[in-house]
Amino acid sequence: MMIEEFLDYLRYERNRSPLTVKNYGDDLRAFYVFFKSLDDHLSWQSVDADIVRDWMESMMDKGNNATSVNRRLSALRSFYRFALSRHLVDRDPAHNIEGPKTNKPLPQFLKESEMNRLLDDMEWGNSFNNVRARTIIIVFYETGIRLSELIGLDDVSIDMETCEIKVTGKGDKQRVVPFGSEMLSALKDYVAVRDSSVIRNCEAFFVTDKGTRMRPDTVRAEVSRCLSAVSTLKKKSPHVLRHTFATAMLNNGAGIESVRKLLGHESASTTEIYTHTTFEQLKRVYEEAHPRA
């Protein structure tokens, strides 16, 4: 049988894992059963693109997600490429068929109430590490900058007179991001504690207690520890605070083009995922508030 010949090829010529071989076999047998159920006279040679599309549709109707359907379509494409190379068939009905689009997961973010609880209600203390941690949280939340951008900040990057920071983003592209009075106060407090507690050996704005520029894993750990106090999100990273910034801005009336520029996105399409997030929020509010929803 052609399926077994293909699976032997995967095992012995491609050295694919037993699990991969099993999955390919299951997928191909499922397709074989499907097209035979349509017409017992059909064969691997006579199957056409419409039948492949019908198979995909039937899988979606049964509740299979796009990732699962695409994986099975990929197995079918591999099978037909093999069959064509061995002259077992003379056409590939799966060649030009596009699989279903996978929905990108919506970005995770903290609620405004959670951020307010973290920044307003939590006891932070006056030690260097605690003041630094709170300042890092505020900078991420009020500017939406990336982890690498925060670590790259030097003292000269921050203008406390104009309340602006100069950020070096992807591709060494620079942008200027404004900030408000709360962040200004936090920055001044941090600088005062830092300069009285640490002897710096670099120009970095955020430093370790040894005066060196902070490392990414240190910032990640600090952010995760802080967010764990108010959030049950599985992911508690600096990027979650970037998502939180963007979502908060859009929820409070900022235009998508303004948010794009603040985030340093090249295209507005990258920023649009946050509009889906805010729409999901609107749907939840509607369902909870409307008496006939």
What ranges do the domains of the chain cover?
2-85, 112-289
Active-site hit among 170, 173, 188, 276: 170
Q: Does domain 2-85 have CATH number 1.10.150?
A: yes
Q: Catalytic annotation on 284?
A: no
Q: Tell me, what's the pLDDT at 65?
A: 85
23-31, long-range: CB < 8 A, 24+ apart: 23/71, 23/75, 24/75, 24/78, 24/79, 27/71, 27/72, 27/75, 27/76, 28/3, 28/75, 28/76, 28/79, 29/3, 30/72, 31/55, 31/72, 31/76
- Name the DSSP letter for residue 215: P
In this chain, the answer to whether the domains covering 2-85 and 112-289 adopt an identical fold is: no
Q: Which stretches of the chain score pLDDT less than 50?
A: 293
Q: Could you tell me the fold of the domain covering 112-289? A: hpI Integrase; Chain A (1.10.443)
Q: Tell me, what's the pLDDT at 126?
A: 93
Q: Is the dihedral of CA 109, 162, 150, 117 positive or negative?
A: negative
Q: Catalytic annotation on 265?
A: yes
Active-site hit among 72, 132, 146, 213: 146
Q: Tell me, what's the pLDDT at 293?
A: 47
Residue 168 has φ and ψ, to the nearest 5°, of -100, 110
Q: Catalytic annotation on 117?
A: no
CB atoms within 10 A of CB 250: 20
Active-site hit among 175, 200, 239, 261: 239
Q: Tell me, what's the pLDDT at 23?
A: 94
Q: Tell me, what's the pLDDT at 192?
A: 98
Q: Catalytic annotation on 276?
A: no
- Name the DSSP letter for residue 211: S
Are 212 and 202 a contacting pair, CB within 8 Å?
A: yes
Q: Tell me, what's the pLDDT at 107?
A: 79
Residues 244 and 213: their CA atoms lie apart, in Å, by 25
Residues 226 and 6: their CA atoms lie apart, in Å, by 53
